[in-house]
Chains A and B, each alone.
Chain A
Amino acid sequence: MFDFATTTMSSAIPFVLPLVFALQPGASSVSALREAAAEPQFDQIGVPLFVPTDSSFQDFKIVIQKLNTISQSSAWVEAALEKIQSYAGLQDGWRGEGSFAPTEKTLQEASELLLQISAEMPDLTRPLISVDEEGFACLHWNSTTLLATFSVYGDGTYSFFSEGYGSVAKSDDEIIGAILPQDLIETMTGRHAFEAKLAA
């Protein structure tokens, strides 16, 4: 994990710079870094050293926060997988008459979907995991920017409804293991918003 307090600017900026362009391609970030790079200096071994402006320093902090989120994400994946597996012991009737326990296949497919989502979108926050009376598994993201619900049915398919970054994506019969729909990724990451901003 990156520690903002102890990481020096000279050692971190060369590493962070490409990530700023990759993760925060907003026009203001780019111009700030260009401004900072206008008069480059070099350290003792010739590595370019940038004198940070206020705005580039702010960008630096944002990227460090982003990197911390990514490094923490592996922790939530493990915890979420454990949570899914915690439902393995349920029996039919677990939530009253007529309720069904999730099958092993349902839990396996929920785990696969979770791993795929976390690999594709590593900077997501952790999801809420649950199963319902029908024995379906549910992955749910709930934050100020994203509200998404996935249902995993145990027959090799899942559905979702995702609302985030000003867009909505939904689908009824997605196949577990298939490529995630682009519109889904856009609602969950806001990538289209960044791209639009960059294009403008």
Chain B
Amino acid sequence: MLSRRNLPPNEVNLLKLVWHPDDIDVELNVVKPSAFRREDLTGQHGSFVSVDRSDIAERSCMEDLASKQAEKANGNDIKRELAKIGQLGCSDVRSSEDQGRKLFSVSSFPREFNKAHCGIHSNLITPKKGSAMDQLRNELVKLTSPPVGFDEAYGPDTEAEGE
């Protein structure tokens, strides 16, 4: 059961790490549905889409994550050339519904190294294949703003400038 303190406020944005060019259509600058893993949207086994809440997000946490993901990509065919940030309004995600049924919930999962960590949960229990999965991804694509660079999402990296 989620307690109220585990719920990020509606006013925040949810920041999602996406990769250029794999997750993004380069010409239109919009995220593709494949940016949202099917596994994360089944609504089962505690699955969720990892995001950071904007009000307490730290640039260094997302940069660490990007660095680890880029490292994993080395030696594979993954095209992770540039990490970017897509943003979803927390209240928009929570308001998203189909025939009166809320599609998603959002809760906080603070971690020792990342207090801003949150999850977008699917309220539908759905297999990886099928139109319900297509609908969930459609919806998240619709709610995600055009990806921007880290400077635009977090402000200039003052630590790096000071070094």
Contacts and interface: CB of A to CB of B under 8 A. Distances in A.
Interface stretch (A53-61, A112-120, A142-150): A142-150
A153 B129 CA distance: 8
Nearest to B32: A130
Closest 5 CB pairs of A and B: A161-B134, A170-B131, A130-B34, A161-B135, A149-B134
B157 interface: no
A121 interface: no
Contacts of A131: 34
Contacts of B34: 130-132, 138
A133 B38 contact: yes
Nearest to A137: B34
Q: SS class of chain A's interface: helix, strand, loop or mixed?
A: strand
Give the contact-size bracket for chain A: 20 to 34
Contacts of B66: none
Contacts of B64: none
Interface residues of B, number: 26
A147 B142 contact: yes
Contact of A163 (B32, B72, B138): B138
Contacts of B25: 128, 142
B72 A149 contact: no
A172 interface: yes
Contacts of B78: 94-96
B141 A89 contact: no
Interface centre among A136, A148, A151, A172 (most CB of B within 10 A): A151
Given A140-B33, A149-B141, A151-B129, 19 more contacts: A93-B76, A95-B22, A96-B76, A128-B25, A128-B32, A130-B32, A130-B34, A132-B38, A142-B28, A147-B138, A148-B138, A151-B130, A151-B134, A159-B129, A159-B130, A160-B131, A171-B131, A172-B129, A172-B131
Contacts of B133: 151, 159
Interface in B58-93: 72, 76-78
A124 to B, nearest CB: 14
